[in-house]
A and B are shown apart, each in its own frame.
Chain A
Amino acid sequence: MNINQFKPAIVYTIYIASTPERVWEALTSAEFSRKYFFGNAVEVDLRVGGAYIVRTPDGALHISGEVIECDPLRKLTITFNVNWPELIEQLGPTLVSYEIEPAGDAVRLTMIESHDRPLDDDILSGGRQGWPAILSSLKSLLETGEALVIKMRPPDRMLAALKKMGIGTP
């Protein structure tokens, strides 16, 4: 897979009063991710080619991917493929990159979601809805010790667009 063919579709930056070590741990550990990522557990083998998976609270495989770039405390790039029937065939792979930079007493975290083809706004609306909630909750967790409790509607616009394309959705 040539990651140079991928173009950023969603970019989200947030500053967190924390350290690169803690942010890195929050992004890569199941224990942390369950608290800020809607109960989902991230399991990652932190080496290039290693597996990256996300399990739903009931243990089912939700997202599967592999590590593309791993520069501890600075950058993690993974494929991030939601495990719904026909999704990857229709939309191609999803690439997610996290970049961590020190910024004074804080840390600047940037998430970049990229795709190898143009996707329409209906499809991208799911990520545009989800990432701010996930990363705001991660920030709260690291700064206060408590993740946010966010009540959110399902990403109806995205789900309808996927359904139209014949992609199986929950």
Chain B
Amino acid sequence: MLKPAFHYVSYIETTLEELWEALTNSAFTTRYWWDTSVISDWKVGSHVSLAINGLVRWHLQRMAGNFVEPQEPAANSEVSCEFDRLAHHRRTG
């Protein structure tokens, strides 16, 4: 069983839909994550890739657990998207 090692909570004046978009839309992530695009089809079992300036630098593969997706939009709900253990396959060159 994987255990959380780092936990950070923040409150944001926004909607669940906008927050989900900010976490999963690669054009959006480049704006706050040092030009990093987060790319995935967000299906359970899919890879998540991180690309900087169009070059894929990291592949993250889900090893366990489930994505927690937004359910009923509700004020102040927490949306979590956990990558649990990340398998890093660094592309060379």
User: A151 contacts B10, CB within 8 Å?
Assistant: no
Partner of A152, one of B10, B12, B76: B76
A-B contact count (CB 8 A): 20
Q: Which residues of B are found within 8 Å of A14, using beta-carbon distances? A: 10
Residues of B within 8 A of A136 (CB): 10-12
Whether B76 and A132, one on each chain, are in contact in the complex, defined by CB atoms closer than 8 angstroms, is no
CB-nearest residue of chain A to B74? A151
In the complex, A72→B11 CA distance in Å?
A: 27
Q: Does A137 contact B (CB under 8 A)?
A: yes
Q: How would residues 122 to 141 of chain A score, 1 for a CB under 8 Å from any chain B CB and 0 otherwise?
A: 00000010001100110010
The answer to whether B10 touches A150, judged by C-beta atoms less than 8 angstroms apart, is no
Q: Whose C-beta in chain B lies nearest to the C-beta of A14?
A: B10
How distant is the Cα of A11 from the Cα of B40 in the complex, in angstroms? Answer: 32
Question: Which residues of chain A have C-beta atoms less than 8 A from B12's C-beta?
Answer: 136
Specify the main secondary structure of chain A where it touches its partner: helix
The reply to whether the CB of A91 lies closer than 8 angstroms to some CB of chain B is no
Task: Flag if A151 contacts B75 (CB, 8 Å).
Answer: yes
Contact A140 B76 (CB under 8 A): no
Distance of A151 Cα from B75 Cα, bound (Å): 8
Shortest distance from the beta carbon of B47 to any chain A beta carbon, whole Å: 30
8 Å CB interface, A86-141 against B: 128, 132-133, 136-137, 140
- Please give, as numbers and ranges, the residues of chain A lying within 8 Å of B75 by CB-CB distance: 151
Q: Is the CB of A148 within 8 A of B10?
A: no
Cα(A152)–Cα(B78), bound, Å: 12
> What are some 18 contacts across the A-B interface (CB < 8 A)?
A14-B10, A128-B9, A132-B9, A132-B11, A133-B11, A136-B10, A136-B11, A136-B12, A137-B11, A140-B13, A144-B13, A148-B11, A148-B13, A150-B11, A150-B76, A151-B75, A151-B76, A152-B76
Please list the residues of chain A having a beta carbon within 8 angstroms of any beta carbon in chain B: 14, 128, 132-133, 136-137, 140, 144, 148, 150-152
